Amino acid sequence: MIEGTSARSAGGKLKFGMVGGGRGAFIGDVHRKAISMDSLAILEAGCFSRDWENNQASGADLGLLPERVYKTFEEMAEKEAARDDGIDFVVISIPNVGHYAAVKAFLEQGIPVVCDKPFTVEEWQAKELADLAKKKGLLLALTFTYTGYPVIKHARQLVRQGELGKIIYINAEYPQEWLLVPAEKQGSKQAEWRTDPARAGKSNSVGDLGSHIDNMTSYITGLRIKSLCARLDKIGEGRVLDDNATIMLEFDNGAKGVYWTSQVATGYDNAFKFRIFGTKGAILWDQESPNYLELRRFGQPNSILSRGRDPFYPHAQSFSRIPSGHPEGYFEALANIYKVYTAALIKQKAGEKLTEEDLDFPDAQMGLDGVRFIGKCVESSDKGAVWIEF
């Protein structure tokens, strides 16, 4: 029996709640804007901040009834599950160390969950939550936002169709410069919690940026890591978590790879890039130009595919929202993840069988894989940058 799937929604829209994302938060507002883009769900409840005044003010800002603004997420999960008009899913948007307890509270009450990445700070926590979601038949998603781009979905299909041949090498990087200065000591809330192991967990750069690289390359290629060797650097004075990392990898098909993450890379904004090389072709993508994919085929001219102009595989094309030349970016990519997730939830509530395309969002297993990746990188670095079996 699937728990938590009674038809609560009204007017064709789901109702969702949010943990985190109060006044002064960045990513919570991004979630709300992305969800609203397809008008499939409306915000009805929340626990937005541990500060009660901020919490109440945030609820008022968002037009919620006072009785549906809760002091704790435990109270919210219990009371929303008991309501006939309770929420259909919850968004968890709080610092990393809080994910495990918050996700577990809602899953135990039969409420589906969308959680920011990384899933948890410990692998056993992610495994427990993945098993709990599966046992209860609840849809659980992770917001690895960049996999929502239409270009990425087309790239994945290119690999699946054998257009690149056998994958032999992956090179990916995610450099930023924002922690070149001690932003955590200058009032930046984002920097404060990301550099604090009590809130971020065991890693900063790999946890924040490397988890995106790992998820992206896995999503596109389907390859699994066999072993890795990582060096995590703490370049900023006084930092206890990494702000730069270099990772060498071996994959289950024999392919090799190198990842680089940095928050101290002078001159870089949010320059997530990957290059995936196969025996027949290669693909290159730059997150700061997300509507374009460079395709290289052995012995043929290189080409640049443009979202909205060039023909994509049908599933990928279904995520393209506006004509070519009108950039689609971060909001749209996250909206695409919610588009699939909410549609799957509606279909599940109607008792319909879900297909692979219905489930094309980052799931609990991907979240578990990401936590394992972070942990193995930290383990390798702590042991002197040695090779670690995955």
The pLDDT of residue 2 is above 50: no
The two three-digit tokens of residue 117, written as one number? 């990445």
- Cβ neighbour number for residue 203 with a 10 Å cutoff: 28
| pTM given for the model | 0.94
Q: What is d(CA 292, CA 305) in angstroms, rounded to the nearest whole number?
A: 6
Q: Output the six-digit token pair for 36.
A: 């609203």
Query: What digits encode the pLDDT tens for the residues 72-93?
Result: 999 999 999 999 999 999 999 9
- Residue 11: pLDDT band by 50, 70, 90 thresholds? low
- Taking Cα atoms as reference points, which of 46, 47, 44, 49 lies closest to residue 23? 49
14-146+336-359 domain in CATH 3.40.50.720? yes
Minimum mean pLDDT range among 89-93, 152-156, 322-326, 358-362: 322-326
Q: Tell me how long the chain is.
A: 390
Q: What is the mean pLDDT of residues 57-78?
A: 97
Which of helix, strand or coil describes residue 41? Answer: strand
For residue 1, pLDDT beyond 80? no
Helical ranges in the chain per DSSP H:
27-36, 52-61, 73-82, 99-108, 123-136, 150-160, 189-194, 197-200, 205, 211-221, 314-317, 330-349, 364-382
What's the longest Cα–Cα distance across the chain? 65
Mean pLDDT, the chain, rounded, equals 95
Domain 150-323+376-389 has CATH 3.30.360.10: yes
pLDDT at 40: 87
C-alpha span between 24 and 66 (Å, rounded): 20
With CA atoms as reference, report the closest residue to 112 among 146, 142, 154, 83.
142
pLDDT band at 171; cut points 50, 70, 90: very high
Q: How confident is the model at residue 12 (pLDDT cuts 50, 70, 90)?
A: low
241-284 pLDDT tens trace: 999 999 999 999 999 999 999 999 999 999 999 999 999 999 99
Domain boundaries, the chain: 14-146+336-359, 150-323+376-389
User: Is pLDDT above 90 for 5?
Assistant: no
Q: In the predicted model, is pLDDT for residue 366 greater than 70? A: yes
Classify each residue of 26-57 as buried b or exposed e, where b means 16 or more C-beta atoms within 10 Å of its C-beta.
Answer: ebbebbbebbeeeebbbbbbbbbbeeeeebbb
